[in-house]
């Protein structure tokens, strides 16, 4: 048990690394989309960039939510199983 003391911290650190990689991918994707589809500086252009950017960030957050819940439920199942075994 002592060696498992910081296991959740390691899980979250792992999730942070995954999210970091995905954030870089998302911004690269975002850049790809806006440079291909949009013309330079005006209000519409900037608003469209904002909407596309926020949509991608929304997807990123939802995926984060999914991973964390998945791992948390797994931790809870492990505890429940060990408690059932006595």
Binding to another protein (CB under 8 A) within 9-38 occurs at 9, 11-13, 15-17, 19-20, 23-24, 27-28, 31
Residue 38's φ and ψ, nearest 5 degrees, are -115, 155
Do residues 34 and 49 touch, judged by C-beta distance below 8 A?
yes
# residues contacting another protein (CB under 8 A):
36
| Axis crossing angle, helix 43-84 with helix 7-37, rounded to the nearest 10 | 160
Half-sphere exposure of residue 33: CA atoms within 13 angstroms, side-chain side: 15
Our CB check for another protein shows the closer of 47 and 59 to be: 47
Contacts with another protein, residue ranges (CB under 8 A): 1, 4-9, 11-13, 15-17, 19-20, 23-24, 27-28, 31, 41, 43, 46-47, 49-50, 61, 64-65, 68-69, 72, 75-76, 78-79
């Amino acid at each position: 048990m002592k060696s498992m003391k910081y296991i959740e911290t390691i899980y979250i650190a792992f999730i942070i690394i995954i999210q970091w990689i995905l954030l870089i991918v998302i911004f690269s994707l975002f850049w790809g989309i806006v440079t291909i589809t949009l013309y330079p500086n005006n209000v519409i252009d900037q608003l469209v960039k904002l909407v596309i950017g926020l949509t991608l960030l929304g997807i990123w957050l939802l995926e984060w939510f999914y991973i964390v819940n998945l791992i948390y439920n797994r931790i809870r199942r492990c505890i429940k199983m060990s408690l059932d075994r006595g």
